[in-house]
Structure 1
């Protein structure tokens, strides 16, 4: 059985409240779980101590027996000092899409053509003045 440590949503519409639970990875998000090891209230201020409450001892136990935390829960564990989370960077995220790249190339070609056109007439009168 594959076990994960994840968030289970509770609360009313537009008022989320999450439990940090240990559950079978195949069970539904808000379905049956093995154990509740914490809570997360996103409506509280980020510096509020009650925003994320985790039972560190139980979290370490479940991690030691092979439970895999989701990315959000891994962030909570990293902040609490329970488990170090490797920093990730998505270098492709900041890169423009294919259409944006095409538009940029077209714009660069137009600018280059305009510069060439501006350069050519400026050189022609100088040559005529030199001949006269």
Structure 2
């Protein structure tokens, strides 16, 4: 169970009157400061895992659509696809480190931290393994 008095990012009173605090915290996830803090492992374990692995997709997927479109018209730029998958794989390695360093909220123990690190390393491995096959021929 989450203990609000030990967490700077959860309001003590989660009532509709304090909804703005929750919304402000979620808006924070779209700032450079949040991502620096996340990659340094200073966010909670859940935020680090979920935002690091999946919120980042909000940025990566549109980029990939754009790169696939460009590469379909200019095949000489298809190397950008491989480069982007390598960059994503390296990013996931940094996220795996951050997941390991992140402080769990509540009663989350070492088991979930290990699962989060393994899952994130699998994402990194998938991205790095896929990279050579995306550059076109």
- In the superposition, the TM-score normalised over structure 1's length comes to 0.26
Greater relative contact order (Cα < 8 A, sep 6+): 2
From the two aligned structures, give the one with the greater strand fraction.
1
Higher Cα Rg: structure 1 or 2? 1
Name whichever structure is richer in helix by fraction: 2
Q: TM-score by structure 2 length?
A: 0.25
